[in-house]
């Protein structure tokens, strides 16, 4: 367990839920990122931890005392610190306190996540549904799952190529513009 993270909060990062999508946002606990349509939104570390707690315990309202103990275990902090973090989260999510879409105040008690959210599987665990591209070399095919790949001849690339290669696939075959032959081809 990391210093400064309570026993209760440490479990958030060890569970099966790694990413949660709500509205245009994705909360990724593995990378500790909040993104909106793929663009990262900066949150202070404590604000990220608070949003994580609210999202993972949704729709349960969490008391201010519980949240303070999770965020600042064994430390006295002014209640204003918690409300400042909620304000930071609301600003990042374009959420309004008076008409919340994601974070609601449970008056006299604490806060709750109130938005519709979907837990997403860890992409590293998912088998590719269909492969639309692959690399071909010496008559052998090497499938490429959807997404971006770093391909080249340097030692630190994701897919390393030798002198003979050809990129083929649905997108490559549509217009032929992506068909590339290796340097040894005429």
Q: Spell out the domain ranges in the chain.
A: 7-120, 133-175
CATH assignment of 7-120, among 1.10.10.10, 3.40.630.10, 3.30.70.1280, 1.10.3470.10: 1.10.10.10
pLDDT, average across residues 60-67: 94
**51-55, 74-78, 97-101, 140-144: least confident range:** 140-144
pLDDT, average across residues 18-26: 90
Phi, psi of 8 (to 5 degrees): -65, -40
pLDDT, average across residues 53-63: 93
Alpha carbon distance 176, 182 (integer Å): 15
Query: pLDDT at position 8, please?
Result: 41
Query: Is the predicted pLDDT of residue 28 greater than 50, yes or no?
Result: yes
Query: Is the predicted pLDDT of residue 109 greater than 70, yes or no?
Result: yes
3-class secondary structure per residue, 87-135: HHHHHHCCCCCCCCCCEEEECCCEEEECCCCEEECCCCCCCCCCCCEEE
pLDDT, average across residues 127-144: 60
In sequence order, what are the residues at sequence separation of 6 or more whose Cβ sits closer than 8 angstroms to the Cβ of residue 185?
Answer: 164, 166
CA distance to 83, 91, 139, per residue, from 170 (Å): 51, 42, 18
Cβ(158)–Cβ(151) under 8 Å? yes
Which has more pLDDT, 18 or 144?
18
Cβ(25)–Cβ(33) under 8 Å? no
Q: What is the pTM of this model?
A: 0.59
67-99 pLDDT, tens digit per residue, is 999 999 998 989 899 999 999 999 999 999 899
**pLDDT confidence bin for 139, thresholds 50/70/90:** low
């Amino acid at each position: 367990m990391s210093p400064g993270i309570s026993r209760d909060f440490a479990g958030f990062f060890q569970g099966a839920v790694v990413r949660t999508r709500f509205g245009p946002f994705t909360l990724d606990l593995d990378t500790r990122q909040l993104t909106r349509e793929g663009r990262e939104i900066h949150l202070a570390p404590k604000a990220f931890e608070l949003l994580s707690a609210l999202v993972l315990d949704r729709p349960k309202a969490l008391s201010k005392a519980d949240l303070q103990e999770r965020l600042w275990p064994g430390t006295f902090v002014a209640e204003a610190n918690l409300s400042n973090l909620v304000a930071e989260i609301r600003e990042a999510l374009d959420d309004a306190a008076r008409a919340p879409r994601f974070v609601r105040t449970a008056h006299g008690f604490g806060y709750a996540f109130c938005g519709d959210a979907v837990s997403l599987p860890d992409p590293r665990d998912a088998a590719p549904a269909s492969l639309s591209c692959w690399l071909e070399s010496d008559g052998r095919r090497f499938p490429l799952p959807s997404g971006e790949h770093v391909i080249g001849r340097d030692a630190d690339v994701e897919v390393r190529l030798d002198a003979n290669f050809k990129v083929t696939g649905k997108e490559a075959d549509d217009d032929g513009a992506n068909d590339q032959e290796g340097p040894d081809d005429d």
